[in-house]
Amino acid sequence: MSEAKLSARGQPAPDAVRWTCPHGRHAAKGCVACYEAATEADPALPLWRIAVWFTSERPMPIRVLKDVRRHGRHFALDQPSTPLVYLLSGQARAATSAEAIAGLVGFLVGNRHIVDAFTVTEIRAVIAP
């Protein structure tokens, strides 16, 4: 099983390369191009199961959290018990974990009506069995 974990605090420099998507963006910052590329991803590519924890500057209404599920990509946005901490999870096909993560976070970047300012604090990505 291939697994990638990121704690957003303090990345050693060589590790940063692993977290860079094909468009040169850090996966934790999100990439709209990766998000869009995932729509037409080659079915032969690995399917990643991704979970991204992030903090929002403002609380998100429950209605918004539920709307994410209707988005068509089977992403889920949940609120664990900590205030202003959210969990975005989903699956995506991509060649690398960085690309899969950048695409999932890219969903947030491309949908500013969901969350306008956020900081990713933790990421988990595993290849789905």
Instruction: Using CB under 5 A, list all residues that contact Zn ion.
Output: 21, 23, 31, 33-34, 102
Indicate the residue among 50 and 129 with the shorter CB distance to Zn ion: 50
Task: Give the residue closest to Zn ion by C-beta.
Answer: 31
Indicate the residue among 15 and 57 with the shorter CB distance to Zn ion: 15
Indicate the residue among 15 and 78 with the shorter CB distance to Zn ion: 15
Separation between Cα atoms, residue 96 and residue 102, nearest integer Å: 10
Non-local (6+) Cβ contacts of 91 within 8 A are 47, 48, 49, 50, 74, 128
Please report how close the Cβ of residue 59 comes to Zn ion at its closest, in angstroms. Answer: 29
Indicate the residue among 68 and 102 with the shorter CB distance to Zn ion: 102
Please report how close the Cβ of residue 31 comes to Zn ion at its closest, in angstroms. Answer: 3
Q: How far, in Å, are 50, 67, 86, 99, 101 from residue 122 at the CA level?
A: 11, 23, 11, 16, 11
